[in-house]
Structure 1
């Protein structure tokens, strides 16, 4: 894929991580992201606000800012690892798949399983795989692609390469895609490029963020992520849709999210996107 075909979106977690310090709403996010020079947005179930029950109004708001919905990201308190919560988790995912279906090309991104339930960690992989695969079936019926997004926070089920290998072996690669997140991968994988190359056929779009050598969040381009090599590899993946979604979690973003995402967009221009 030529660099000119790449599209750059922004993930709203940069604001969500502020917690109670963030008092704005989804319209404020759209305004800041559009002003930052982005073409698209990935919004979360936590940040969608009053638009959760009105996708048509959200579509109008996006159009007013010249933005495309790249993906709708959702999680679950169960961490997708609790057997007795499977049906409730899938009901919530079904809701967001229906929402995303209003937006042509939009995906639903399911956060990686975080081990919050009791019992052996190894037993949680099969529970998570069942939820992801069944969500993929729901998405296929609705014409919406579903993908897994990794995390390296807390006691995640997806941290190092053996975790990825184990879960991905249980997933239907046609039903369930992957949203690689460079920052989260770097915190648990010695060779990010090998992981990306191994599972390139699963990649749907890319989350770009950076970490320093100790795994602490850094502004894009100021850490150890080999951004140019990552983009080149991912852009050649057969099911990559062209979207690079920037997500910033550094201390710089915590002090001024809008300024941080503007700066990251300039960094991407320097990389030709």
Structure 2
């Protein structure tokens, strides 16, 4: 896939990380993202707001703003590592699969397995893999692709390369794809290029973020991520759907999310996308 064929979307976590300091709603997000020059959006279960039970109304608002739903991102307080919560998590997953099914090509992105209670680490990988595989089966039955999004946030189970190798050895790649996140990979292990190459056949779309040499979030292009090299690998992935989703977590974004995401979009134009 040529860089000219790539589409650029924006993840709403840039606003979500503001917590109580964010007083807007989903339509404010759509407006800011559209004005920032993006073609698509990945929205989270936390930020969907009053559209949670109204996918058709959300579709109308997306159309009004000229945006495409790239993916719906979901998480769980269970961290997907508590066996007793698997059935509840699967019911929630089906809810968001049904939501995403209204939007042609939209995926459901499931967040990183996270340690939320005591217990052997090995068992938590097995529980998470069971959940992800069963979620993948639900998605397949509904015609919605499911993808895993590992993170480097507090208590993540999927931090370093060994963690990636372990979870991917347990997950059926025919049921569950991968949303690699450059920032999270770099924070957990420096071999982002090798990681992307090793698991290239699982890549559905890409989260682009940057960090400095100490793992602190940086604006896109201001850190250590070799963005052109990353794009070359991802663009050649057999399952890649053409979407680069920018997600900004730097101090600049915390101060002014709309300006930060607009700046990142301008950076991507300099890369040719």
The TM-score range, normalised by the shorter chain, is over 0.9
Structure 1 residue 270, shift from structure 2 partner? 0.4
Residue 226 of structure 1: aligned partner = 226
Stretches (4+) displaced over 2 A = none
Q: Please give the residue correspondences for 1:181-192 in structure 2 after superposition, counting only pairs within 5 Å.
A: 181-192=181-192
What residue in structure 2 maps to residue 217 of structure 1? Answer: 217
**Per-residue Cα deviation, 1:142-174 (whole angstroms, up to 9, x for no partner):** 000000001101111100001000000000001
Aligned residues: 273
Per the alignment, residue 104 of structure 1 pairs with 104
Unaligned runs of 5+ in 2: none
- Looking at structure 1, the residues matched to 126 and 238 of structure 2 have their Cα atoms a distance apart, in angstroms, of 27
The separation in 2 between residues aligned to 1:226 and 1:87, in whole angstroms, is 40
Partner of 1:53: 53
Deviations 1:205-225 (A, max 9, x none): 000000000000000000000
> 1:146 matched to which residue of 2?
146
1:228 and 1:133 mapped to 2: Cα distance? Answer: 32
* Matched residue, 2:10: 10
Whole-angstrom distance in 2 between the partners of 1:112 and 1:153: 9
TM-score normalized by the length of structure 2: 0.99
RMSD of the alignment, in Å? 0.4
What whole-Å deviation, never above 9, does each CA across 1:174-222 have from its counterpart, x for those lacking one? Answer: 1000000000000111211000000000000000000000000000000
Q: 1:188 & 1:25 partners in 2: Cα distance?
A: 32
Instruction: State how far apart, in whole Å, the 2-side matches of 1:238 and 1:189 are.
Output: 24
Q: Which runs of 5+ in 1 are unaligned?
A: none
Secondary structure of the residue aligned to 1:267 is helix
Aligned match of 1:244: 244
Whole-angstrom CA distance in 2 between matches of 1:196 and 1:58: 33
